[in-house]
Structure 1
C-alpha cells in the first residue's frame, strides 16, 4: 500500500506546542487483508440520509489520517458553505481502525481521501472502490537520510544501509528501483518504524526512510532535522505514485449518484479555492480542525509548497479554465501500476503475487466533476 500522510495522533511537531522531533512519516494506511472481502455490512454512520431536522442530506467523509493540507479542500468546502449550498450536511470523522478505504468499501463512510494506488491494491482484495476526484498530479514522496549522515549522498548509497519501513512491498520496489537506476545493487536491510521515521533515523536504528515534500519536507526546513532527499522520478520510478483524491464505492455511485455528484463538485470547488488562495485556506484548516492544533505558519508553508511545486497541476491553466481541476490522470497512474506489477509488489487477498496490474481507468471516473 502507498503510505499516505499523517496517521492520527502523531502530529507533535506541527502543533503550537511542538516538540523537537515530530513523529515523522506516520502515513500508514492499514494493510488490506482478506477481511475486506468478508466485511460487507453497512455501518451506522455511513449511508447518506435525509436529516429529519432539515432538508440537507447527511453524509460522512472519513479522514485517512490526521487533518493536513491534503484534506484541506474538504474543510474549505464545509467552511465556505459549498456543501450546504449543494444540499449536503457533511460530517468529517476520524479514521477508523480498519482504515478509510475499508470503511468506504463497507459503507461505514460515504467518502474518504485516498489515492488510486491504494484503490488498486484494495481492488485485488475484493474491494469495489472508485476515485471520483484526483487532487495531486505528481509524486510528492521523498526518500531521505539525515543531512548529518554524510555516508549517504545519493540513492546508490542506500545499498547495504537500513531502511525505516512500515512493511510495504510497494516501498521496497521503489527503493530498489531508485538504487539500481543510480548504479547500485538494490540490496538493503529493513527495520519497522515504531512511531516516527525521524526518531528512527535520529536514534541510529535506520539510515534512510520515506517522507513527503509537502509535509515532513516542510517540517525539516522549518524546524529540523535537516534532510538529504531524493525523488522517485529522478531515479527510474515511472508515473505518479501519489494520485491523492476522493474515493467512494460502486454501490453509492449506483444507488445515489446525486449525492456523489453534489459531494464531488462541492469538494472540487473547495480544492480550487485552496489552490488559488493558499493562505486563506490554510487558516480555514487551522480553524476548522482545532483538535489537530496546527501551527498557521507551518500550514501556510505547506500550501505554498504545493502551489509553487504545482503538485495539484498548473495553477494558471486551472484558473483560465484550460484544465479541469480534479480529473483523474489514468496515464501516469497506470505507468506506476505497471511498474508495481513488474516488481511483484501486488498481492491478492490470500497473499499471492499478482503480475497483472489493475486498470486505472476502471478504478476512477470523471463523470461527477463540474466541467
Structure 2
C-alpha cells in the first residue's frame, strides 16, 4: 500500500495518449467539455459500453469530448485519485483498500453485477477444487489479497495454503504461463475463459462466488474522485448517462456492440470479441433494476471479509466508497 500511495506523487501528466475523440468526428471541440477515462487494462469487452458511447455519439449528446486512454505504469486508480484522469475503470477490491488509506476514489457504477472471476487451470492438470492447490504453483501479480482469497478457499477443504507455491507472473500471457511456469491463475472467464474455448483448450474453473457470497463483489466498476463529485457533479452525471446508454446498447445488441469495439481497437481478435460479448452482455445488468446499480450490502460484505482476513487496518466506511447518485433514474 505504501508503494501504491507513493505512486500518486510520481504520476506524470498525460498528453496525446488517448484514442480519437468525438470532437475529431465533428471537426470541433469548442462546445464540448473534454474529459478522460482511463482503462484498467488493455481494451476488452468489460469496456465495450464506453467505446459504444463514444462511437454512437452518446458522450457528445451529453456535451462531452471523451478520450479513452491506457493506464500506463501508474495505474488507473492512481490516475483517477490524483485527478490526472477524470474517470477510470477500477475494482471494488482496489477501491476498498484505497478508502482505508484515505485515498479519495469513489465507485460510481458497477460494470458487471456479479463477480465472474475465478481460478483457472488447464484440465489436464486435474485441479478440480481448492484442495488440489497443494503442491501446485499459482501465478499472480503480487497482491496479498490473492493469498488470502486462495487461503480462504483452501481452508474450506482442509487444505494448507503454505503448501502452495505462489509466484509473480507479471504480464505473461495466461496460456503461455500455464504451459511453462505455473499451474493455475486468476482470470475473468468472460475474456480468458472464452479465449480458451476458441483455442479448444478445456479449463477447470473455481469461481469465487461458488465459495463465499462475500466474494461476489463488483469487478470492474467505473470510478471518479471526491473532488470531481464535489466540484463538477453535472459532468459526472453526463458521463454516466452516456455510459449507461453505451452499456444498454451492448446488452441489447451484443453483435453490433462487438463490431464497434473491433473497429475502435483493430488489434483485438474479432472472434474473441464477438464470443466474449455474447457471453458478457447479459451479465452487465443481470438481476439489477438498472445498469450500474450498486448495493450497500455488497460493499459491506467484501469490506468485512477483507477486515476479518487482516487485509484492512480498519473497517471500511462502505457508504463513502460508492454512490448511485449519478446513474440515470
- TM-score, normalisation: structure 2: 0.89
Matches within 5 A, 1:148-163: 148-150=124-126, 152-163=127-138
Give yes or no for contact 1:264–1:368 (8 Å, CA) kept in 2.
yes
The Cα shift of 1:330 comes to 2.5
Give secondary structure in 2 for the equivalent of 1:148: helix
Give secondary structure in 2 for the equivalent of 1:33: helix
The Cα shift of 1:225 comes to 3.2
Pairs aligned (count)? 319
Give secondary structure in 2 for the equivalent of 1:64: coil
Correspondence for 1:14: none
In 2: Cα distance, 1:280 partner to 1:190 partner: 41
Correspondence for 1:25: none
Change (3 A) 1:149 1:43: closer
Tell me which moved more, 34-43 or 134-143: 34-43
Larger helix fraction of residues? 2
Q: For 1:334, which of 279, 286, 300 is the aligned residue?
A: 300
In 2: Cα distance, 1:368 partner to 1:199 partner: 42
In 2: Cα distance, 1:250 partner to 1:41 partner: 21
Correspondence for 1:74: 50
Give yes or no for contact 2:8–2:79 (8 Å, CA) kept in 1.
no
Note the residue ranges of structure 1 that are not aligned, 5 or more in a row: 2-30, 347-353
- TM-score, normalisation: structure 1: 0.79
Matches within 5 A, 1:278-357: 278-290=254-266, 293-308=267-282, 310=283, 312-314=285-287, 323-346=289-312, 354=313, 356-357=314-315
Instruction: Say whether 1:198 aligns with 2:172.
Output: no
The Cα shift of 1:140 comes to 1.0
The Cα shift of 1:41 comes to 9.2
In 1: Cα distance, 2:35 partner to 2:228 partner: 11
Give secondary structure in 1 for the equivalent of 2:249: helix
Give yes or no for contact 2:91–2:220 (8 Å, CA) kept in 1.
yes
Give secondary structure in 2 for the equivalent of 1:92: strand
Q: Superposition RMSD on alpha carbons, in Å?
A: 2.5
Correspondence for 1:18: none
Correspondence for 1:369: 327
Q: Which runs of 4+ in 1 moved over 3 A?
A: 36-46, 50-53
The Cα shift of 1:61 comes to 1.1
In 2: Cα distance, 1:284 partner to 1:236 partner: 36
Post-superposition Cα deviations, 1:247-293, rounded to whole Å, max 9, x if no partner, equal 11111111111111111111111111111111111111111123xx1
The Cα shift of 1:52 comes to 8.3
